[in-house]
Structure 1
Amino acid sequence: MLLKFLGKGGSGDGECPTLYATDTSTYVVVGWKTQSPGTIEIPHLLLGFAEPDTFIGATMNDTGRGTFLMSGRPITDPETVGKLDMEPHETAVEVPKAERTFYGVTAAA
């Protein structure tokens, strides 16, 4: 799996959750481990690193403390895990990348 680094943030010590785009039209998200396998916690701001006109196509639950809980396919492949910048208290999941659809109106000429 090829990974493209998109952004990192959410912690003051550099050990931050991270967002990557893949070559298979998905996102790999590194976040804080939770007690539920395949579920991570990420800061709200991480969503701002999504590629233009796309969004993370996974259900997220707001914790009420500036973070979301998100579930996805756990990344366990040693080659892919080796490419990720993760701390011991972090893990990674793969989630769909979805395209934004414009539902607005255009200005009259």
Structure 2
Amino acid sequence: MKLRFLGKNSTPGDSPTLYASDQDSYVVQGWKVLAADLLMRLDVPDGHTVVEVPTELFEHLTKDGLPAGEIKNYEPPIMLVTEQGTCLVQGPQMHDPEALSQMRMPDYETCVEVPKSSITALLEESSGADHQRPA
């Protein structure tokens, strides 16, 4: 899998990053979610994992031709929004050696792959109830 870097929200030692893949998906690199109290609130299927990223990370979607990167719907693959304004993103954990070789990832981070359609649906105005589920 080939990745195209879209952007990152970085502070020293932290590097949540967003990539577009050649498989019609996005790869979201973020902090591993290990807190039992958060994980107990989620239904994480086998082979999936959860990463935490700043919501601003999705602003980089404009570099993939999308008109805006502001999340308007908080529904899967975004599972929760924390009190700190970060979001928990769930998806299949990335194991593709070619993709992983293109990334720089500290031990406390991992990445998930989510379909582009799932992410772009989060950018559209919802006509129904607010789906935001705060942590």
Provide the TM-score with structure 1 as the length reference: 0.79
Q: Relative to total residues, which structure has the larger strand share, 1 or 2?
A: 1
Tell me which of 29, 49, 60 is aligned to 2:60. Answer: 49
Match of 1:8 in 2: 8
- Pick one of 72, 78, 81 that aligns with 2:100: 81
% identity of equivalent residues: 40
Runs of 4+ residues deviating >6 angstroms: 54-57
> Following TM superposition, by how much is the alpha carbon of 1:63 offset from its aligned partner in structure 2, in angstroms?
0.7
Specify whether residues 96 and 54 from structure 1 end up closer, same or farther in structure 2 by C-alpha distance, changes over 3 A only: farther
- Kindly name which structure, 1 or 2, has the bigger radius of gyration based on alpha carbons: 1
Q: Contact conserved, 1:2 with 1:22, CA < 8 A, in 2?
A: yes
* Other-structure match for 1:26: 25
Structure 1 distance, partners of 2:115, 2:12, is: 29
Query: Using the alignment, how far apart are the partners of 1:62 and 1:27 within structure 2?
Result: 19
Q: How does 1:88-107 map to 2 (within 5 A)?
A: 88-98=107-117, 99=120
Structure 1: tracts of 5 or more residues without a match? 104-109
- The offset of 1:92, in angstroms, is 0.6
**Which consecutive residues of structure 2, in runs of 5 or more, have no partner in the other structure?**
40-47, 126-135
